[in-house]
Amino acid sequence: MYYGMSSSALQKMYVQGSLANEEGSFVFEIKNLIDSGMVSGITKLIVDGKDVPVADVTVELAGKVREANSSMYVSYGAVLKVRVPGQLEAGEHTIQMTVNAPELGQLTLPVTATI
C-alpha cells in the first residue's frame, strides 16, 4: 500500500486501452488520481520483467515532451503519455513504473495491459 492506496487502486491510474505501438516506440498513459504535486521523474521502468533505461524514455504532459527522469508538476487529473523506444508484440504485457514524488516518496504503478 502507498498513500493509503492498494496496488489495485494504483493500477486504476493506467488509462485503459492506451498501450499501443506508435512510430518505433510503444506508449501508454497514466492519469494522476492522487493529488497535484511535483514528481521528480520516473526512477525505474520494468517491462515484461526487463529493466528499461529511463534515459531513453520521454513523457508528454500538457503538450510538452520532456525526459522521463526530469522533474515536473503534475496536476490532479493530468494525463502523462509515456513513450518507450521499441515496439511490443501483440499480447499481454506487464509494466511497473516507479516515480518519486518528493512529498510522498516512491510510488510504483503496476500495469497489466494488452496490445
Length of the chain equals 115
Tell me if 17 is assigned to some domain: yes
pLDDT tens readout for residues 58-86:
999 999 999 999 999 999 999 999 999 99
Would you state the pLDDT for residue 9? 63
Establish how many alpha carbons lie within 13 A of residue 97's alpha carbon, considering only the half-sphere containing its beta carbon.
30
Residue 27 pLDDT class (50, 70, 90 cuts): very high
CATH of the domain at 35: 2.60.40
Considering the domain boundaries, does residue 93 fall inside one?
Answer: yes
Within a domain: 89: yes
Q: Does residue 1 carry a pLDDT above 60? A: no
Nearest CA among 64, 75, 72 for reference residue 99: 72
Total structural domains in the chain? 1
- Decide if 1 is inside a domain: no
Indicate whether 45 belongs to any domain.
Answer: yes
Asked whether residue 69 is assigned to any structural domain, the reply reads yes
- Residues 69 and 18: their CA atoms lie apart, in Å, by 21
Going by pLDDT thresholds of 50, 70 and 90, the confidence category of residue 2 is very low
Q: Is residue 2 part of a domain?
A: no
Record the pTM: 0.89
Distance, CA of 11 to CA of 55 (rounded, Å): 24
Expressed as residue numbers, the domain containing 18 is 7-114
In a domain, 53, yes or no: yes
Strands (E), 9-114: 20-22, 25-31, 37-39, 42-47, 50-51, 58-61, 64-67, 72-74, 79-85, 92-101, 105-114
